[in-house]
Chains A and B, each alone.
Chain A
Amino acid sequence: MEVVVVLSRYLHVMSAILAVGGAFFIRFILPAGLAQADAGSREAVLLRCRKLFKIIIHGAVTLLILTGAFNTWRNWADYKLTIGIMHGLWGGHMILGLTVITISLFLLAPAQPGKSHKSIMKWNVALMFLVVLLASTVNFVRTSAIKERMIPPAPAAPALLPTTRPA
């Protein structure tokens, strides 16, 4: 079970790396790299990259959803430690994550990129970073909650202890 837990988290992180890193590369680094190429070549290379990225995104999305569901199921007991903040952050991470996934699939669905493709992709990359921020916060709150459980609870009923009994 321990191996599955580590593997699930690893695959979740790796899928996110592929999706976010790939989106950043295709939106910011590749256009700069193609700036001096002629218009025909530039268009052909961008389309080819987009096609390959589409395959990567589909694999990454599948893994993100599967491993995300498993991680949630496994950590649900920890999420109950501080219900208000943990559920708010986890819900935000999940909803925003699903939004980003939907936008990515919507952007990559047509064979040719649309007019507003560039600006939507830019905002989508920013949203991806926000999803990662929410995940980092969830993780921090969760580990802090586990840490707090290590502080021994104060004795609830001192009257029950032998030293406090009347002589």
Chain B
Amino acid sequence: MELDLTLRLSRSLHVLNEAKSMAAKTLYDKLWDAHLVKQRDDGSALIYIDRQLLHEVTSPQAFEGLRLAGRQPWRIDANLATPDHNVPTTSNERMAGIEGIVDTVSRIQVQTLDDNCREFGVQEFRMNDRRQGIVHVVGPEQGATLPGMTVVCGDSHTSTHGAFGALAHGIGTSEVEHVLTTQCLVTKKMQNMLVRVDGQLGDGVTAKDVVLAIIGEIGTAGGNGCAIEFGGDAIRSLSMEGRMTLCNMAIEAGARAGMVAVDEQTIEYVKGRPYAPKKDDWDKAVEAWQDLVSDEEAEFDRVVVLQGDKIIPQVTWGTSPEMVGPVDGIVPDPAKIKDETQSISTSRALEYMGLQAGQKITDIKLDRVFIGSCTNSRIEDLRAAANVVKGRKVSSSIKQALVVPGSGLIKEQAEREGLDKIFTDAGFEWREPGCSMCLAMNADKLGAGEHCASTSNRNFEGRQGFGGRTHLVSPAMAAAAAIKGHFVDVRELNREMN
């Protein structure tokens, strides 16, 4: 793949450019300026937060802090909560309600979120509410995430919401408390980075493949200190679901925030959602949102360009999202890597993953398949997977294949479309919404040494269970792998079918 990495010095010294850049702003500059409450002398700033999403794992100490200090939330209507990380996903365990959660620590955390939301009056979609789901799926689905907003959540994948032309990033527990109490965040302005994907994507190539390819090129530290704007024709043609997948993994490229400019698609997606503006407000909002694009003349501190038509389906082979390659490739040979640190980390990764240098990616055998997570559990993802699965059977060598919808509403939608039938007929398990095997905080886990084709976002050691081996792929690729029992280029499988 062609990579054109241009490091431009921030704000050129040239007088002309200086004048230009003063007037011209990037999308990030605009969002920042519109929310700046106070610039402090030490370089930090107070920015106003429009929306905070809360879940059970990172909020309890924040609420407790509020209680201890005798403070009240600044603005209740800025918050929306739902439990996701710990909730069980089998219908049996779910049916019994919170009482039925087997793991005590999980049960207490879920119960505590309910209690806190009740005490402080925060709107919550409880565990068995049909609107419950993974926070990053629920926010946009409800129109709680809107263009032009600042969005925070005590979770690093909050970058997802940037798909709407919003400034969204993950924060820690003490910051959750800070935002609850002051409606502001203390932060520093990041640099502007543009990742442009030109041309058009080929058939069978998805947003997940694009973002994995980007991380493969720039590395997991490539976006450090930056807010990334994704642009270019290939990005513009992505659906909102695809853009969310892309921004979701901006954090895996080292950037705390990722974003895509607002266009017709953004507005179409938001229209009519429960918390979206109505009537007169809607017209005013749409007008305001037109400005949520980078000015043509705006200067970026860094620009990276990829060719969309050269990207093919991607599979990670290592223990970091940057250890990735095309499905028709091979596992790299550490001995051939010149950089010593990289060579060492590659051989360590191969050892953990139980892979041989030079092995074909398509020869990697799988034990489990997981379709879900805030990266890829939206209706479009389930449709793409079902499309591959339809009329086929999960390979007998696969121990477990899971589909975990991102929210109760997505689950219902999929069931209306008959997708659940397609999955269960093929041998997949159809689960209740939650984070599930993305981080294995509930009972859904990999065993030691097991390989998993996963549509989630992190392939770190032990992420999906102690000793588990994760390969990140798109939903279509995960579905194809489930059918074959090993990785396969989903485009070939589709050709076979036709």
Q: Do A and B bind each other?
A: no
